[in-house]
Amino acid sequence: MRRREAIAALTAMLAVAGASVPSSAQGAERRIGYLHPGADFAKRKTPSPHHEAFLKGLAEQGFIPGRNLVVEYRFAEGRNERLPALAAELVERKVEVIFGWADAARAAARATRSIPVVFTAIADPVIDGLVQSLAHPGGNVTGFSNQGLELDAKRLELLKAAVPSARRVAVLAEIGHSLYRQQKSSLESAARSLGLELHFVEIRGPARLPQAFAAIKAARADALLVQERPVFNFDRRGIAGAAVENRLPAMFEHADFVRDGGLMSYGPDFVDVWRRAGDYVGRILMGAVPAALPVQQPTRFELVVNRKTAREIGVEIPRSVLLRADWVIE
């Protein structure tokens, strides 16, 4: 389904909501920017559930593309160096709000101090300098943190529970990230309490992934933890496939990795987060001020396990872990 078809389907599904659209949302067509570091959703064979959730959140505030809303889409196609220019384009288009995922939101925040920016997938927006505090953002930026510092340790704990025999865990990390030092320190502390030895494999871009897995193999790791980074999302199938090929039990942040063949994931329900982000954009269009909209954190988390992959790599997931899982792929 192409993007226009997805929007048309959503519009039809929400037709009944039209009768209850707030009067302030019924007037002239509004315009927002949608900035994403990845590939254009319209090129996918199936609709993006995150994009659809974002549109649903907007619709809950009375804004529907094709009726009273125009969405200016910009995609970096996996090339983060393009994000500043794309963000500048949206500023030139005089959009009323810019929504951005991860690095896209950072680029948007650097491009404007006046246009509201709503972000998702930022581990610590205070450390990144995007907001003054979570409760009181204080500027033109607000959104949804993904609790990256806390969740890495939880993923390591769940990986150990799923593979009790593991002693040495490789960590696929992106060096140069703003939170890299803090996340590394947090993981090392968690590893000590679990009796694990960590081996960090640091890369700067997707082109280095083959060398990274060669290093992981040379380290004789028993398992793999892949940190949450957009650069890894761009090659989910490649990373999941390499882990299976090397018979490595791998833990990811995003359920999409597990659907693409990875062993397990633990992280926020991103569909819910994107719906709430759409709601925030809608609220700003209705007059809310970003400085007064607190940065929110995930309220729903999902543990997903792929038993088919477990069988393929010769791992028996303990029943205690399977019972904790929200989804089990057979």
Q: What is the pLDDT along the chain (330 residues), one digit of tens a residue?
A: 444 444 445 544 444 444 445 555 655 799 999 999 988 887 777 788 999 999 999 999 999 999 999 999 999 988 889 999 999 999 999 999 999 999 999 999 999 999 999 999 898 899 889 999 999 999 999 999 987 667 888 999 999 999 999 999 999 988 776 677 888 898 999 999 999 999 999 887 666 778 889 999 999 999 999 988 777 877 888 999 999 999 999 999 889 899 999 999 999 999 999 999 999 999 999 999 999 999 999 889 999 999 999 999 999 999 999 999 999 999
Q: What is the pTM of this model?
A: 0.85
| Superfamily designation of domain 3-146+269-300 | Response regulator (3.40.50.2300)
- The pLDDT score that the predictor gives to residue 120 is 95
Q: Which residue, chain included where needed, has tokens 């803090």?
A: 182
Q: In a 3-state reduction of DSSP, which class is residue 226?
A: strand
Give the per-residue pLDDT at 310: 98
157 in helix, strand or coil? helix
Q: Please answer whether residues 140 and 113 qualify as being in contact, where contact means their C-beta atoms are separated by less than 8 angstroms.
A: yes
Q: How far is Cα 32 from Cα 100, in angstroms, rounded to an integer?
A: 11
The residue type of 45 is: K
Q: What is the pLDDT of residue 24?
A: 56
pLDDT at 178: 67
pLDDT of residue 211: 87
Please name the fold of domain 148-268+302-329. Rossmann fold (3.40.50)
Instruction: Give the pLDDT of residue 27.
Output: 59
Chain region(s) in the chain for CATH 3.40.50.2300: 3-146+269-300, 148-268+302-329
Report pLDDT for 295: 97
Tell me if 313 sits within 8 A of 244, measured CB to CB: yes
Quote the pLDDT of residue 3.
45
- Distance, in Å, from the CA atom of 147 to the CA atom of 123, rounded to the nearest integer, reads 5
Q: Rounded to whole angstroms, how far apart are CA atoms 121 and 102? A: 5
| Tokens representing residue 99 in the block | 């929504």
